[in-house]
Amino acid sequence: MKFMLTSKGDETSDALCKKMRQYLEDFDLKWDPEEPDLVISVGGDGTLLSNFHRYKARLAETAFIGVHTGHLGFYADWTPQEVEKLVIDIAKTPFDVVEYPLLEVMVSYINGDSAARYLALNECTVKCVEGSLVMDVTIKNDHFETFRGDGLCISTPSGSTAYNKALGGAIVHPSLEAIQLAEMASINNRVFRTVGSPLILPKHHTCLLEPVNDVDFTVTIDHLTLLHKDVQSIQCKVAKEKVRFARYRSFPFWSRVRESFIGDAE
C-alpha cells in the first residue's frame, strides 16, 4: 500500500508525521505523494480539508484518515497516543471504508464563460462583496423565496458540525445523502420574507441561487475563499462523488458530536 502524510505545520504535528512515516516505511509501506491509497493528516480537521482538496481528482482511489494534535476533530479523530496502534493496523489490516456525501457547486456566468465546478467536504458559503446579499432561491425548479441578509451556507452532513452549526443549522448524520441550506442573518420585515429555518434537501433536489442585484460574490468552498464576478447562478446539490475514510475502529458520529460539544461530564 502507498501512503502519504501531511502535517498542520506546527512542531508537534511535524514530529508526529516524521515518526509515523518512519514506522510505516519500516513496515515496508511505500511513501507516494502522487498516487497514495491512504492519505494521513496530522493536525486537525483543517489539515484533512486541505488534503481532501489536494487529492480531489482521485477520490475513488484515495482514503483519508486524520490524527488530531489539538482538540478532537470530526475528520481528525485519532489521538497522538493511539498512533502506534494505528500504524500497526495500517500495516497489518486491510481497512474498511466509510463514505460520506459531498456538495457539488456549479457557478455559471453571464458573460458566457464556462461554468466552474467545485466539490466541498464541509460547505459553500455565498456573501456579497459589499452590503446585503439578495438572491432568488429556487428549489427543485420552483421559486422558493428571495433571500436578503448576510449570506447563505450550504453544507454537507459532515460539514453540518462546522459553520452550519454556528448558524443554528441541524447536525445531520453523514449516512444521509443530503445538503442543508442555512441562513446568515436574514432580513425579515413587512417587505422581505424568508423561511427562517434551515432546510435539508435530499439527493437530486437542487438549490439554485440567482442574483437579484449585484453579480459579484464572495464564495467559500471549505477553507478556500474565491471572488466570483458576473455570476448568473450558483447551483448546489449532493455530488455524485463521495469522500472515503479509512476505518480501523468504530467511533460513531454521535459519540464524536458528544465528545466535541458536550464533553465527558459525569
Q: Which of 17, 42, 49, 128 binds ligand NAP (CB under 6 A)?
A: 49
Produce one character per residue of 62-76: b if its CB has 16 or more CB atoms within 10 Å, e if not. Answer: bbbbbbbbeeebbbb
Q: What is the DSSP letter of 125?
A: E
Query: What grid cell was written down for 228?
Result: 466570483
The nearer residue to ligand NAP, 78 or 145, going by C-beta atoms, is: 78
Cβ density class 197-236: b for 16+ within 10 Å, e for less: ebbbbeeebbbbbbbeeeeebbbbbbeeeeebeebebbbb
Q: Which stretch binds ligand NAP (CB under 6 A): 40-48, 96-104, 109-117, 196-204?
A: 40-48
Which residue among 88, 97, 166, 185 contacts ligand NAP (CB under 6 A)?
A: 166
**Segment 95-124, which members bind Mn ion (CB under 5 A)?**
none
**Distance (Å, whole) CA 75 – CA 89:** 18
Q: Name the residue nearer to ligand NAP (CB basis): 108 or 158.
A: 158
Stretch of residues binding Mn ion (CB under 5 A), selected from 22-30, 38-46, 84-92, 245-253: 38-46
Spatial separation of the C-alpha atoms in residues 58 and 52, rounded to whole Å: 10
Footprint of ligand NAP on 58-77 (CB under 6 A) = 70, 73-74, 76
Catalytic, 45? Answer yes
Answer for which of 13, 51, 69, 122 binds ligand NAP (CB under 6 A) is: 122
Interface with ligand NAP, residue 44, by CB under 6 A:
yes
Phi, psi of 154 (to 5 degrees): -115, 115
Residue 51, H or E segment: helix 45-54
Q: Which does 159 bind (CB under 5 to 8 A by kind): Mn ion, ligand NAP, none?
A: ligand NAP
* Options 42-50, 76-84, 163-171, 189-197: segment touching Mn ion (CB under 5 A): 42-50
Out of 2, 15, 21, 46, point to the residue binding Mn ion (CB under 5 A).
46
The residues annotated with a catalytic role in the active site are 45
